[in-house]
Amino acid sequence: MDQSKVQHYFKLLMSEGLGFDLSDPNLLDTPKRVAKMYCSEWFKSVGSEFTDFKSFPNEEKYTQIIMYDRIHFTSFCSHHFLPFTGLAWLGYIPENTLVGASKPTRLIQHYASRPQLQENLTHQVLNAFVNAIKPEGAIVVMRAIHSCMTCRGVGQTNGAGMITDALHGSFFKPEVKSEALELVKLSLIA
């Protein structure tokens, strides 16, 4: 990414495209701030895969669901370039490997840091996790509120959003998926 180019073109968008007066003290440094935000925060993971998994041997042979819950994330809709924000749950049944407790959050934040669709984000998180950890099964559930629904278009300001899930391995069994979704419900009332 070229932060100086983003700054230059955002300044042109604001002044020539939208007709804003950039001598306004509130807008004076906006192109610089936006360029830094886009390059260093919102889209910092564009073109990279998550590889920072810290894992440990499953010495005690734990075979039940491990659920990381209520992981906050924000991403940008690639259709309207507006944010969508929400909560994610990542559950898995380990085989030989346990994952470090902070890694699911870092994984989700990594793939959220790019323009994206929630449906794709859900699968990217699951696929990266499964490829690195090789669990017996895994599930990712995401619920987000999309700005393209709340501040434009249909104007849904009542909390309407989208829920997506992605499954791997034993989570395709109805009883395992059901248990995982009960854990999601439990985390919402905690």
Q: 50 is written with which tokens?
A: 């998550």
Segments making up each domain of the chain, as ranges? 3-42, 55-189
- Residues 61-110 have pLDDT tens digits of 999 999 999 999 999 999 989 999 999 999 999 999 999 999 999 999 99
Residues of the chain with pLDDT under 70: none
**Parallel, antiparallel or unpaired: strands 115-116 and 66-77:** parallel
* pLDDT attached to residue 150: 80
Tell me how far apart the alpha carbons of residues 31 and 8 are, in angstroms, rounded to a whole number: 7
Tokens of 38: 């886009």
Residue 184 confidence (pLDDT): 97
Using CA atoms, how far residue 106 sits from 75, 101, 180, 183, in Å, is: 13, 10, 21, 21
CATH 3.30.1130.10 fits 55-189, yes or no: yes
* CA angle, 184 then 186 then 190, to 5°: 120
Kind and range of the H or E element at 141?
A: strand 137-146
Query: Half-sphere exposure of 41 toward its Cβ, with a 13 Å CA cutoff?
Result: 11
Beta strand 137-146 with 162-169: parallel, antiparallel or unpaired?
A: antiparallel
Between CA 77 and CA 55 the distance in angstroms is 31
Question: Left, alpha or beta for 169 (phi > 0: left; psi -120 to 50: alpha)?
Answer: left
- Identify the pLDDT of residue 2: 95
Instruction: Using the structure block, give the residue that is written with the tokens 């894992």.
Output: 55
